[in-house]
Structure 1
Amino acid sequence: MKQVEDKLKDVLNKYSENFSEKIYVDSYDNTDLLMNAFGITQELKSENKQYWGRELGKCWESLLRNLFETTCKDYMPPSRFGKDEPVDFFVGNDAIDAKYRVGSGDSKTLKGFESYGKMLINEGYRPVFLFLRTDNLPSALSKMDKGGWVRYSSDETFEYIKGKTNFDLKEWLLKLEKEGTYKIKRLL
């Protein structure tokens, strides 16, 4: 019986660690520039976190892809390496993956962070993550570090973007928030 209990305890320990690493945002004032540009409150986002996280992530990726494509002569669209497309685009030797945040810690995703980073380095690129948010899963960040990724988040990301594109995306998003141009209007 002891052997069975030990095996089961191993499972529970693993999940306990994973649950402990999971970051939940309970504060209604924890927003970001993209949420603010749309007028999305933490309260609204909490109605369906998966939907809002996915859609804000796609929006962030699309904004960066279009900004870099428009402003950088050395922009290149994503390339396939075998069956994989490990980044969103390239600028010079930087292989850039735009992420709103990383909240998923499934083993396939985590292994990909490490292996893609090493593969990109072997191909002569510098793998770069551009995060909008800072509340990323620690186990994912650890795998990125093991893969050799350079990680920027929040203000560091905006500084990197401005340095490469000569466009102040942070100020632009703040301006949009003030103007209220893209504030969502929900139909009830």
Structure 2
Amino acid sequence: MKLTPFHTILKDRTSILVREVTHEDRHLLEIGFAHLSDQSKYFRFLGHRKNLTSPELTKFTAVNGPDHVAVGAMVVGEPSPEPVAIARYFRLPDESHVAEIAITVVDSYQRQGLGSLLIGVLAKFADMEGITTFSALVHGENTTMLGLLRQLGGTRASMDGMEMNIRIPISGNTEGRSLSTVDDPFKDARRLASFQ
């Protein structure tokens, strides 16, 4: 199953394209990484980073399948490619119903709804693959990401030093009650994302 690429408008009226990441996107990941602040790099990788390694680029652009999915967003209408966000999940081998997620949004596009949209697209993939929960490892000082994950229904599962493990239910059921379309945190992604 493949995501049909789709366009949408951010809160600041920027037009973006959302699509699956492919093995040909290595250079786009490098461009996006170069536009991250040192703090964003630190929060994403839980340590200081100057660049992405070749093995990381290979892993991050692997072909999507039942255990791994990556989607990204690019600004539409720019003369050169402008990648602004990427999100991915990897199914946990010891908990087949759980997938670890990672989200990166370029600093100048944060707080525009991109993170929740891309996590929602991942959730739509995950629903079809029997994954019911996302797990995210987040630095305790990354208040923006912690706030986003809480908005999506995330709760702290554990803490190790400054790293928190947040669990997010992605099925339409939280604490035994069905979500309406009004309180579904993934409603925009469910409306926009379709598959071929």
Larger strand proportion of the pair: 2
Q: With the length of structure 1 as denominator, give the TM-score of the two structures.
A: 0.34
Larger Rg: 1
Q: With the length of structure 2 as denominator, give the TM-score of the two structures.
A: 0.33
